[in-house]
Structure 1
């Protein structure tokens, strides 16, 4: 994807040269502004290229050249800034070289236009969450079984079906029902995912029903559930061994407690449910239900008439009643212009094969995204499947990566980022998971099928992402070469986590701690991490101090760490670009910030709160 390096170069120009308090003051600022404008035109060009189904070899070569030149230009600028040797003359030569390349591209392709106005938003998608359609009889049957008083022993009910058929939506409808809430003393939810992690499952359940404490989570959960009538949702379980393990935490109080699980594997459902208890197969939607679900994404119901209705119904029919396919396509079509031709292209692209259908639909939706949303969507791949993603953190990561425009005077960056998030929600590519007390979105999530496709595209197609889930307890045993990949996502699963990295291109490192206790030595060796923009080590307690290779980070924009003690290892006074600083509280409840922290001109977020820098 050429968009990422182009947008990254634009953000570097904005932060280093075009900011109100620039790092480098140029004598010819207009030349940088002209380059920035031309890069904006390139984004429009790339966006139109990716919408085309078949790109000729010449155009593929052009986009590859744009990617290479943009990346090389940014690398050169940052390398010179690191050595404090960037001169006006050298920068102007670089600008002239890039502009000459753009002139050649424009002359050879005749596709670049000077008007870089973003494409208009089509007929408008609904900002409301998609509610469950159909399954009324099944819902009534399951509700009846959950609430019936005659069966006192703990009972397990299973919902079985392929990915995207609506199992989680069905379970969530039950979980949020007012009658259900009134009849059970405690309700809790956990999503197991393909890689079973008992600690995470216990944390999810405990957070639903009690304040977090230290100690044995399984013992605490078992104790709080004892004597209570509870409903537990175990979503997306993949292995019988995982069920056998987690169900030991749920006591049988002989008081009509219930467990509702969802799975793709009927064998797991039959294994978990006792004889005589329900094991429900989630059916596909019929044509009427599919059309009703499709309609939910459109504000203007009158629009879906005549030719558009005919094409729309044909598209829904090709989805074979699979809800995920229907809502993603509806999200796509609600955001493209009112064009019969474009709707017909979508109709012709959909194939009657469920195994390939969702992948095809995801590609259609992705290619139709505005360029600024493509990077935002792919970046979700750094988060692990089935995890709740805090939107404040996500938006600030987007800002740090340069996906959120920094030149708009009318809106704060966080507001623009929320608009981007809502756009992806409207397109049914992201789901709202939790809301705050005031109704605003707190966390979001990707459907696991879409997450797999997103991760695959970021890893394989775009060569952006590297997922590391192993690590080593030996300092030099686990070696990974990132090549040109920009994002490294670490799943820390052992207390002493050691990794050797070979990369000069890495821009983001995010750690997700799944170890029971990770406060022992943590070792990271890398030949160069000086160009990092994002470093999230908030889940790691460094017993022996910060690894030496990740302390001199002058381009860092987002830093999250577990303790302010670690700040003593990082010369923050050099971090001119630092925008977000997240530090967990120290033992005494205070967060001690180093001297000079307020001298950083772009620091705007600390401990999750947006504040006014007194120096600004």
Structure 2
């Protein structure tokens, strides 16, 4: 747990203070306060957890309560990072997180001396197991709808389960691209308020008309909304509203999406069932479930090993235990896979790496 917290602290610190020779992250100014708050919370919990000699923490309820707080903070961070990555992923390259541990010792806590590297990879490599079945189902809903009425499809699931990744794969799928006349994506985020409406409108309009956002900053929200509505009229569109925490953003924007009975679709990703109920068209929810144990291991294996590599039965046994410890969360498996892919593929090392 201490190692996971240290890793989280390093990720957040890298985002806020990228090395001047390697500006690894493009930080959205709107997300700065969120990430600062998360960094402070993660540092506090890391320090508190390290004081495990304290009886209130080291035994019983105290430790369980602390671990719950850590888990909640991690889920918050996953959502912020997921949405932060999604906004930068529509450039020429995507970014994959890797941890390069150094100074391994017998004690797992020594693993916290690590550095973060980010490796670019092409969009074609983004698809992974754990998304495949969901992707097939939603592609069919998007491109094979018998009704032409405007459909709103909420993707619902807990933080880190892969809602944004699934939406990205749909957004970039060639059959989906060819089915719609235009597409647009915006990440809403937890701290949405009326002042953020301009960001939402600018992001959507920029996607639809292909004009840089900074060239439209002088327009009022009413002007942006009118332009967006006019740009969408007469076209079959796909809109992705990512990371919606409450219904306010929907109330502010839904009237700008014309319903012309032409097969247009809107996808909303959210962890809140109440948001899905409010925005969805009838019984249209797509519930994302945790990965099964075999799916978790397949994903971890894919992250750690190249296609031509083999995994010994002994290593596979330990690896399956590690994958199970990730509790079915794809984002956790990606992070752990990044660590293991840079480490020694030995049963002895992997056994010490068990997550607790």
Does the CA contact (< 8 Å) of 1:126 and 1:299 recur in 2?
no
Contact 2:134 2:166 (8 Å CA) reproduced: no
Does the 8 A contact of 1:186 with 1:230 survive in 2?
yes
**After the TM superposition, which residues 60-209 of structure 1 pair with which residues of structure 2 at under 5 Å, given as runs?**
130-148=126-144, 150-196=146-192, 197-209=196-208
Cα deviation, residue 273, structure 1: 1.1
**Structure 1 position 245, deviation (Å):** 1.1
Match of 1:77 in 2: none
Does the 8 A contact of 1:160 with 1:264 survive in 2?
yes
RMSD: 3.2
Q: Does the 8 Å CA contact 1:126/1:296 hold for their aligned counterparts?
A: no
Displacement of 1:286: 1.6
Distance (whole Å) between structure 2 residues aligned to residue 56 and residue 145 of structure 1:
50
Deviation (angstroms), 1:253: 1.6
8 A contact 2:126–2:169 mirrored in 1: no
1:110 aligned partner: none
Q: CA 1:120/1:208 → structure 2, altered by over 3 Å: closer, same or farther?
A: closer
Residue 189 of structure 1 contacts residue 234 of structure 1 at CA under 8 Å; is this kept in 2?
yes
Aligned partners of 2:279, 2:289: CA distance in 1, in Å? 20
Give me the TM-score of the superposition, normalised by structure 2: 0.60
CA contact (8 A) 2:156 2:287 kept: yes
SS in 1 for 2:141: helix
Q: 1:56 to 1:186 in 2, by over 3 A?
A: closer
The residue number in structure 1 matching 2:315 is 308
Q: Deviations over 1:193-228 (max 9, x none)?
A: 001121111111122121244422111111101111
Does 1:289 find its partner at 2:295? yes
Distance 1:316 1:299 in 2: 14
Distance 1:240 1:340, change over 3 A: same
Q: How does 1:369-448 map to 2 (within 5 A)?
A: none
Aligned pairs for 1:202-601 (under 5 A) are: 202-210=201-209, 211-212=211-212, 213=216, 214-215=218-219, 216-275=223-282, 277-300=283-306, 302=309, 304-347=311-354, 350-351=355-356
Distance in 2, Cα, partners of 1:227 & 1:324: 38
Could you give the per-residue CA deviations for residues 34-80 of structure 1, whole angstroms, max 9, x where no partner exists?
A: xxxxxxxxxxxxxxxx9xx97999xxxxxxxxxxxxxxxxxxxxxxx
Q: Deviations over 1:291-343 (max 9, x none)?
A: 22112223446353233221111100122211011111111111223454432
**For 1:141 and 1:163, how far apart are their aligned partners in 2?**
21
Q: Quick one: structure 1 residues 306 and 220, their matched pair in 2 at CA, closer, same or farther if it must change by over 3 Å? A: same
Distance of 1:177 and 1:338 partners within structure 2: 34
Q: Deviations over 1:91-116 (max 9, x none)?
A: xxxxxxxxxxxxxxxxxxxxxxxxxx
SS at match of 2:304: coil
Q: Which residue number corresponds to residue 510 of structure 1? A: none
Structure 1 120/151 Cα, relative in aligned 2: closer, same or farther at 3 Å? closer
1:134 Cα deviation from its structure 2 partner: 3.0
Alpha-carbon distance between aligned partners in 2 of 1:136 and 1:219, rounded to the nearest angstrom = 37
Q: 1:258 to 1:133 in 2, by over 3 A?
A: same
What is the CA-CA distance between 1:290 and the residue it aligns to? 1.4
From the superposition, tell whether residues 126 and 235 of structure 1 become closer, same or farther in structure 2 (CA, over 3 Å). closer
The one-character-per-residue Cα deviations of 1:468-517 (angstroms, maximum 9, x if unpaired) are xxxxxxxxxxxxxxxxxxxxxxxxxxxxxxxxxxxxxxxxxxxxxxxxxx
* Runs (4+) off by over 6 Å: 53-57
Count of residues in Structure 1 that have an aligned counterpart in Structure 2: 238
Distance in 1, matches of 2:256 and 2:120, equals 40
Q: Once the two structures are superposed, what CA deviation does each residue of 1:509-543 show, in whole Å capped at 9, x if it has no partner? A: xxxxxxxxxxxxxxxxxxxxxxxxxxxxxxxxxxx
**1: CA distance between counterparts of 2:51 and 2:114?**
23
**Which structure has the bigger radius of gyration?**
1
Q: Is 1:132–1:173's contact at 8 Å kept on the other side of the alignment?
A: no
SS in 2 for 1:164: coil
Instruction: Say which SS state the counterpart of residue 243 (structure 2) adopts.
Output: strand
Q: What is the CA–CA distance in structure 1 between the aligned matches of 2:158 and 2:135, rounded to whole Å?
A: 18
Which has the larger share of helix? 2
Partner Cα distance (1:253, 1:208) in 2: 20
Determine if contact 2:156/2:271 at 8 Å carries over to the other structure.
Answer: yes
* Shift in Å, 1:242: 1.6
Conservation of the 8 A alpha-carbon contact between 1:297 and 1:327: yes
Instruction: Identify if the C-alpha distance between structure 1 residues 174 and 130 changes in structure 2 by more than 3 Å, giving closer, same or farther.
Output: closer
Are the structure 2 counterparts of residues 248 and 330 from structure 1 closer, same or farther at C-alpha, using a change threshold of 3 Å? same
How far, CA to CA, are the matches of 2:321 and 2:265 in structure 1?
Answer: 41
Q: State the shift of 1:256 in Å.
A: 1.1
What SS is found at the alignment partner of 2:188? strand
